[in-house]
């Protein structure tokens, strides 16, 4: 399944499909994989059904709202960071991000407010898992 997800990520990177379609394809792959596994002792986790919400509000009204299912974040985070670190235009932005720390936070079911920043010019950034 990992190679199939990497193919989907490459298709997004190459512009063959958009991120929303990529997310849908990855979810289908995950559901297919989940349905083929037999885990009688596995209880569904409500945490994995939560959403990572990123909110950026600028003083100039350039606002960004992003909602990402934790399922998608968990699967795509490492692969996406690896891809971004190899692209010269994005390398400088991702080189200092500790992906292992973020994945560990997800594994430990970190919940609630993660980031809350307000700049001197009135810009705010908020990241929450709900």
pTM value is 0.50
> What whole-number distance in Å separates Cα of residue 18 and Cα of residue 90?
18
Q: What is the DSSP letter of 17?
A: S
Q: What is the pLDDT of residue 96?
A: 74
Q: What is the pLDDT of residue 112?
A: 85
Residue 101 in tokens: 């720390």
Strand partners, 129: 52, 112
Find where tokens 């379609």 sit: 21
Tens digits of residue pLDDT in 55-77: 889 888 888 888 988 888 877 77
> What whole-number distance in Å separates Cα of residue 23 and Cα of residue 128?
20
Angle between the 2-13 and 70-85 helix axes, to the nearest 10 degrees? 60
Q: What is the pLDDT of residue 1?
A: 58
Q: Are 73 and 106 in contact (CB under 8 A)?
A: yes
Tens digits of residue pLDDT in 13-57: 888 888 878 787 887 777 776 655 544 444 445 777 888 888 889
> What whole-number distance in Å separates Cα of residue 31 and Cα of residue 29?
6
């Amino acid at each position: 399944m990992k190679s199939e997800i990497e193919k989907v990520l490459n298709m997004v990177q190459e512009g063959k499909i958009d991120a929303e379609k990529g997310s849908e394809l990855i979810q289908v792959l995950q559901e297919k994989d989940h349905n083929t596994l037999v885990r009688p002792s596995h209880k569904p986790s409500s945490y994995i059904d939560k959403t990572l919400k990123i909110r950026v509000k600028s003083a100039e009204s350039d606002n960004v709202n992003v909602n990402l299912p934790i399922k998608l974040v968990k699967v795509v985070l490492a692969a996406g960071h690896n891809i971004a670190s190899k692209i010269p235009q994005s390398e400088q932005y991702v080189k200092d991000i500790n992906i292992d720390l973020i994945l560990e936070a997800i594994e430990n079911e970190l919940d609630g407010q993660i980031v809350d920043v307000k700049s001197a010019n009135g810009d705010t950034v908020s990241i929450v898992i709900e």
